[in-house]
Copies of this chain bind each other. A is one copy, B any other.
Amino acid sequence: MTQLETYITENEGRFLEDLKSWLRIPSISTLPEHAVDIRRAAVYAVDQLKHIGFERAELIQTAGHPLVYGEWLKAPGKPTLLIYGHYDVQPVDPVELWNSPPFEPTVRGDNLYCRGACDDKGQTMLVLKALEALMMVNGTLPVNVKVLIEGEEEAGGESIEHYVNTYPERLQCDAAFICDTGIPAKDIPALIYGLRGIIYTEVEVRGAKRDLHSGEYGGVAPNPLHSLAIIIAGLKDAEGHIHVPGLYDKVRKPTAEELKFWHEDPLHINESLLEEMGVSQFTGESEYPPMERMWARPTLEVHGIIGGFVGEGAKTVIPAVGRAKISLRLPPDVKSEEAFTLFERRVKELAPAGVEVIVHKVHGGEGVMVLPDSPPIQAAAAALKETFGKEPIYIREGGSIPIAALFYEVLKAPVVLMGFGLPDDNLHSPNEKYSLTQFYRGIRTVASFLQKLA
């Protein structure tokens, strides 16, 4: 057993305890009442970096939540790796569906349940623990390292975007590493080469100046909720086709290799997906295989609607206002700004007479495609092969990590998208969890990756 392996094995329990302490801080970035928690979670990460022995470890103030920055540049002649993570988490509602309190880390079987257990505190922590292990065993790191951890990934990521665009020279690197993705199954290592972008909006519809009685005015009054339904139904039909003119124009054609994988589905990903969702059939554009729909097609989803009376029983009101949160996921080449323009135009076009419609842009980010044959990605692949005992597969993901596109475009650095989440980790849902096997395997893989990168 190598010294590194011995150190990791002996410290697994403490690594888990450190993660648990971090998870107990409810760092929900979208809810203003958690601003103090956000700061505590950031300071916790700084302390971790100091403990590892980083030269610099500090908070960077921003207009929003602070960034955590650390650097260790004492490996002259070696490449510099920029490591990204995020310490903020999603809201926890509906809280009644959690089997244990969302911010009380609870181990059941091989899994650690907590909001953020995977996304992305768990995955960020495993990277930090890999750095710690290398440093403690060798007194040094195999490569130069810059660490940048944000607190707004679940809230649009404006601050890190501003920072990267403003100070690209400070973040100069030979490669970027983002540990915020998953693998298709416990024993199938994967590297991500494509991600979708996103544009997140809120559509607000206003009718009469006040709520009205449906008996007195029903038949002549504008109903914002009905208008909202007409708009939403007009944006996407029951077969999953999005009716936003121009949106599909720039969708990149998949390669023959991709199409083969999606159609043949050698890993039985489709079966797992149905099981995870608890449904008997897929919805959406049936002329494309499910993986293409999720990974390479634009999609439009309604995340929430609110308006009128929603308490128990009946209230015969025609509400004055209704709101819906709607986002588009965008394949690479479909730019978020352009998609928003097309979307806004279409929403206004669909609005029935008699209501006022406002489309608010909440946030946006670009998709990305990286070249899998760059040396950093090959180093990651070799590390995965070592710890999983088999070659990784190369796949896309349907989610959005706008920072990947930003690093790629601004820093001109190859981006390694290697993570250890599993499809049933319930990201953004009740009972989010992380597999302890994956957590420990991740530590070993990342340590190996840094050594191979050297």
Binding site for B on A (CB under 8 A): 29-32, 90-91, 93-94, 97, 154-156, 196, 198, 200, 207-223, 225-234, 236-238, 240, 273, 277-279, 281-285, 290, 293-294, 297, 299, 301-319, 322-325, 327, 329, 352-354, 362-363, 397-400, 423, 426-430
Question: Which among B32, B212, B225 is the interface contact of A429 at CB below 8 angstroms?
Answer: B212
Given A31-B312, A273-B217, A273-B220, decide whether A302 and B428 contact each other with a Cβ distance below 8 A: no
When distances are taken between beta carbons in the complex, the residues of chain B under 8 Å from A277 are 208-209, 212, 217, 220-222
Closest beta carbon of chain B to A262's beta carbon, Å: 12
Closest beta carbon of chain B to A168's beta carbon, Å: 26
Given A220-B294, A226-B232, decide whether A305 and B305 contact each other with a Cβ distance below 8 A: yes
Measured CA separation A160–B362 after assembly (Å): 50
Given A212-B429, A353-B238, A399-B216, decide whether A305 and B225 contact each other with a Cβ distance below 8 A: yes
Measured CA separation A228–B226 after assembly (Å): 11
Whether the Cβ atoms of A316 and B299 lie closer than 8 Å is no
Given A303-B318, A311-B91, A315-B30, decide whether A279 and B215 contact each other with a Cβ distance below 8 A: no
Closest beta carbon of chain B to A186's beta carbon, Å: 17
Given A233-B230, A306-B306, decide whether A301 and B223 contact each other with a Cβ distance below 8 A: yes
Given A156-B314, A200-B314, A307-B305, decide whether A397 and B215 contact each other with a Cβ distance below 8 A: yes
Question: Which among B238, B319, B362, B430 is the interface contact of A314 at CB below 8 angstroms?
Answer: B362
Measured CA separation A316–B364 after assembly (Å): 12
Whether the Cβ atoms of B316 and A220 lie closer than 8 Å is no
Whether the Cβ atoms of B303 and A354 lie closer than 8 Å is no
Whether the Cβ atoms of A304 and B310 lie closer than 8 Å is yes
Closest beta carbon of chain B to A156's beta carbon, Å: 6
Whether the Cβ atoms of B315 and A354 lie closer than 8 Å is no
Whether the Cβ atoms of A329 and B207 lie closer than 8 Å is no
**Contact sample, A vs B, 19 pairs, CB 8 Å cutoff:** A30-B313, A30-B314, A209-B279, A213-B429, A214-B303, A214-B327, A219-B299, A219-B398, A222-B279, A223-B301, A225-B303, A229-B231, A229-B233, A229-B305, A230-B233, A230-B238, A282-B354, A303-B316, A303-B318
Whether the Cβ atoms of A210 and B273 lie closer than 8 Å is no
Closest beta carbon of chain B to A185's beta carbon, Å: 14
When distances are taken between beta carbons in the complex, the residues of chain B under 8 Å from A282 are 220-221, 354
Closest beta carbon of chain B to A332's beta carbon, Å: 14
When distances are taken between beta carbons in the complex, the residues of chain B under 8 Å from A216 are 294, 397-399, 423, 427
